[in-house]
Amino acid sequence: MESMHLQNVRVWVGDGCWRTELPIVDGCIAASSGGSAFDCGGRVATPGLVDAHVHFVMGAQSRGGIDLSNVGGRAPFEATLERAHRALPAGEWLIAQGWNESQWGDGASTPTKRWLAAMGDRPTVCWRCDLHAAVVNQAVLDRLDLPADAPCCQSGLLVEAQAWAHLVPALPEPALEDVRRAVVDASGWLNSMGITGIRTMEYRKQLEDVLDVVSSQLSLRTTVTLLDRTLPLDVGWLANRSAQLPRVIGCKAFFDGTLGSRTARMATPFLDRGDCGQWVECAADNTDVKWCEQVQRAGLAPSIHAIGDAAVARAMALLVDVPDAVVGTIEHAQIVPEDSLEVLAQIRLSVQPTHRAEDASTAMESLGAARVARMLPLRTLHNAGARLAFGTDWPVTSPDPMRTLAAAITGRTVSGEVLHGDQTIDNEVAIHAMTLAAAEATMLPTAEGLIPGAPADVVVWDADPFTWQGHEPSPRPWAVFVAGRCVYSLTGAC
């Protein structure tokens, strides 16, 4: 039996209680102390943070890639691409991501293939930050089975199904060894931010080729929601999965797109477009009920991507009839439908405060004040009893959990303004949403907090996250434990 205890520490157990020491035996919280002492110098500790919604394999691959998230318009966009172009061997695809035209100030336009002209015949793909749109050059379009006179071939801008069904299958496959190494590296990087658990959205292929192969090297509790969604669902292979591998808990369907790409499905039109956005996939062909039945029959949890208020209303109507123990979730729920609080409180909401912070800049002109007031109103949802599980949607936004917590407790947007200051939540509520509630919604075993018998996933903080006002510098992890093992320390002590 291995035993130790954290001492000289103020532990937020997670259920409203505090402790002054934390005994750990064989990777779990114990009832009484023994073994070696780990002096925490009077610091505050919390349960390990859980990110309820990431695309882990994709996120790991995006690290060190060509990053367009900080470009402020066409000239720096083109300059970044040209630098990358010069550094790449001839013939290799140039794949960049992260552009967000809504951050570029007034009059900024969406990129087109003309912005990629300097790449010549090098196939070039630039994903928007939300991964629901990509601008590509002619060298890529020539490889896709799209009619040459289609508007998307004129602009080079592929949105939703054009990107998913046509572009993604044409992309070159990266070397598996490289992807696996990136995933192991990313696991340690997430630990250093205090993250000890994730639920990741993966296709079976990435799960089996990458995550399963390296799972024993990851210091990250992981559950998986499958992205494979063609009906009839192919889930027979799950019966043969070893219990040692990341647990597959659910399946995801998409009902709509995103606010940034104006493809979220709204009840009334976008003010700057004149249409209501899109229904996509099973919501477009009305197989959503059938999908939900098949997911449940497989013993899995249905998770529905729904962002616009019409999409959220439809997801809500479907999931409210799913038994609570099935743990269905609405992913994003960004524009809450009118008069929906009572029903929403019966469903787990997997939400991303950083999406609100990023979408805020164009929200007023595209949605108008009445709908902006319904844009992830955290306090109203919390007061109504909603079960909020926080996540980042990495690599769509940064995986840094402190950005998520800051957005939730301050209401601040990426431009520094406060969007709706009356909709902020207290630090403790926000931390609960990123620890116990996120674990509960994603079937991770840390949902009870740091009580005896629970896994010893713990973050000791260099500053108190409960009195933090949400400004930089944020509290950072001082030491991080997963199953009682120190996986990161600020001072390099482990």
Determine the Cα–Cα distance for residues 448 and 455; give it in Å rounded to an integer: 9
Considering beta carbons, is residue 4 or 195 the nearer one to Zn ion? 195
Subset of residues 433 to 492 that bind Zn ion, contact rule: CB under 5 A: none
Q: Is 202 in the site for Zn ion (CB under 5 A)?
A: no
Report the residue closest to Zn ion, judged by CB: 393
Looking at beta carbons only, is 59 or 477 nearer to Zn ion?
59
Would you report the helix, strand and coil content of the chain in percent, each value rounded to 5? Answer: 35, 25, 40
Taking the complex as a whole, how short is the minimal distance between the CB of residue 393 and Zn ion, in angstroms?
4
Report the length, in residues, of the chain: 494
The site for Zn ion, by CB under 5 A, has a size of: 1
Which 389-408 residues touch Zn ion, going by CB under 5 A?
393
Minimum separation from the CB atom of position 54 to Zn ion (A) = 8
To Zn ion, the closest distance from the beta carbon of 352 in angstroms equals 8
What is the C-alpha to C-alpha distance for residues 63 and 99, in angstroms, rounded to an integer? Answer: 15
The count of C-alpha atoms lying within 13 angstroms of the C-alpha of 360, restricted to the half-sphere facing its C-beta, is 22
Measured from the CB of residue 126, what is the shortest distance to Zn ion in angstroms? 19
Identify which of residues 359 and 393 has a Cβ nearer to Zn ion in the complex: 393
The Cα–Cα gap between 300 and 225 comes to 9
Are 435 and 46 in contact by the 8 Å Cβ rule? The answer is yes
Smallest distance from Zn ion to CB 55, Å: 6
Nearest CA to 235 out of 300, 293, 318 is that of 300
Dig out the tokens for 432 from the structure: 């609960």
Q: Which stretch binds Zn ion (CB under 5 A): 89-97, 285-293, 337-345, 387-395?
A: 387-395
Tell me the closest approach of the beta carbon of residue 396 to Zn ion, in angstroms.
Answer: 6
Beta-carbon contacts of 323 under 8 Å, excluding residues fewer than 6 positions away, are none
Q: Which is nearer to Zn ion, 6 or 311 (CB)?
A: 311
For Zn ion, the closer CB: 277 or 475: 277
Using the contact rule CB under 5 A, the part of the chain among 74-82, 267-275, 367-375, 388-396 near Zn ion is 388-396
| Choice between 97 and 410, CB closer to Zn ion | 97
- Least distance from C-beta 305 to Zn ion, angstroms? 7
Q: What gap in Å lies between CA 30 and CA 20, rounded to an integer?
A: 14
CB-nearer residue toward Zn ion: 24 or 301: 301
Options 17-25, 60-68, 154-162, 386-394: segment touching Zn ion (CB under 5 A): 386-394
Candidate ranges 257-265, 275-283, 338-346, 385-393; the one touching Zn ion (CB under 5 A): 385-393
Report the alpha-carbon distance of residue 175 to residue 165 in Å, rounded. Answer: 22
Nearer to Zn ion among residue 101 and residue 393 (C-beta): 393
Closest CB to Zn ion among 227 and 347? Answer: 227
Checking DSSP bridges between strand 348-351 and strand 329-332, what pairing results, if any?
parallel
> Is residue 385 classed exposed, middle or buried when 0-12, 13-18 and 19+ CB atoms within 10 A define those classes?
exposed
375's CB contacts (< 8 A; 6+ apart) are: 334, 335, 336, 356, 359, 360, 363, 367, 419, 420
Applying the rule CB under 5 A, the residues between 52 and 81 that interact with Zn ion are none
Question: What's the CA angle centered on 417, arms 412 and 422, to 5 degrees?
Answer: 60
Residues that bind Zn ion (CB under 5 A): 393
